[in-house]
Amino acid sequence: MTSNWFVSMAYFVVTVVFILGLKAMASPVTARRGIVWAGFAMVAATVVTFFIPGLNNVGLMVAAIVLGGGAAWWSGKVVKMTDMPQMVAIYNGMGGGAAAGIAAVELVRGAEHDAVTSTLLVLGAIIGSVAFSGSCVAFAKLQGLLNKAIRLPAQNNVNFFLALATFGIGLTVGYSAAPSGFEIFLFFVLALALGVVLVLPIGGADMPVVISLLNAFTGLAVGFKGFVIGNPALIVAGIVVGASGMLLTQLMAKAMNRPIKNIIFAPITGAAAEGGEAVEGTMRELSAMDAASLMRYGQKVIIVPGYGMAVAGAQHKVWEMAQLLEEAGVEVVFAIHPVAGRMPGHMNVLLAEAGVPYDKIFDLEEINADFAQADVALVIGANDVVNPVARTDKSSPIYGMPILNADMAQNVIVVKRGKGAGYSGIENALFYKDNCRMLYGSAQQVVGEVIQNVKALEG
């Protein structure tokens, strides 16, 4: 009795700390502290679990924690910042897989549950399996192992009937007193296949939203499993993560001006990306010296980072350049689009790592009106988030998507590795405008050359 009371009270304290940690993550200033709080809360919840009366398989639990914790510690130390989206995707998938694993154990045990618990067991198994296999596909896309979106014939019909079959067999298994091993196996095969089929057609332009959505799925699956096994810590943590993940997904979908259902069932890829009016004109190139002169003798420069900056690992060089310009009396700020990069907050994380102060980083709504007063908009590896066809071309797949108004600056300099289209496959009309010039090359190398030329101008 005393032990049960201790565990319940400990879970309550852990839950409060976990929620406070999530709240702290809402601001860049307190995000690090929030992550530390939430991490310690999860460690405490794990330790407290060992005090539950009648706990079995303690040795296996300890071995799993040591192996899993060791792998996580090692990967967290060696992973590059440019690979962080892949890491987030696969770790998120592990959470969904764990929830599905708990459901599998409960089904194999054949434990009797009431109707509500059985329903949540099946839903958690499906959602967790979809989150796991979908996150694995997302990882493969982000890692470059799967370089193109794959859309099946009659894709949405396949999605519907596969989901229907999965739910049907799931309910049969969940409400059966003694489901056979084959039924359980078939159920999880279909659930895992559903996750693969749902994410395969989705292209890179939608990947940040998909990662956020899969994160929400994992949270819900964990919450349902907490209800099934009677663990309040899992219930609260899972539902909080699921709710916050779904809210983030809705905010990002709004930032793209695309309903979530369109992202899943009508992704920007393949033929869809080829829509829109043909872009006419010629891309004009400039030298690193010209770029340095435009920025050094301007009054305000707005830097728009994108995935190209992440790939090149150029964030430190970019901040070094910004500091040189500031020392010369130029105002320099950073503009971040909500879906820039390959995961939510990707650019913010990179800039924070480079030491860029939070008060120099502005979101789309805060900075867009300033572009018209900027002497230079420096776009580094970004594409779709600055494409003006989102305002003008109703036939474009990204029409209506809020963009950063980089094209309204007096001069636009675009750092880009080549002349190809962006990750979504949509041609960018900005690159052909009269006030835009292209600076070709890897972002780190190009920005390094600009830095040398700024220093030369100072000398």
Catalytically annotated residues? 384
Pair 129, 175: CB distance under 8 Å: no
Q: How far apart are CA 214 and CA 131, in angstroms?
A: 5
CA 448 to chain centre: 29
Sequence-distant (≥ 6) Cβ neighbours of residue 324 within 8 angstroms: 451, 454, 455, 458
Q: How far apart are CA 319 and CA 348, in angstroms?
A: 13
Sequence-distant (≥ 6) Cβ neighbours of residue 108 within 8 angstroms: 181, 184
Q: How far apart are CA 399 and CA 421, in angstroms?
A: 17
Cα-Cα-Cα-Cα dihedral sign, residues 265, 224, 48, 62: negative
What is the pairing mode between strands 436-440 and 376-380?
Answer: unpaired
Cα angle: 423, vertex 153, 135; to 5 degrees? 50
Q: How far apart are CA 41 and CA 154, in angstroms?
A: 46
Structure token digits, residue 400: 């209506």
Rg, the chain, Cα only? 25
Residue whose entry in the numeric block shows the structure tokens 């709004």: 254
Report DSSP letters for 370-411, one per residue: GGGG-SEEEEES--GGG-THHHH-TTSTTTT-----GGGSSE
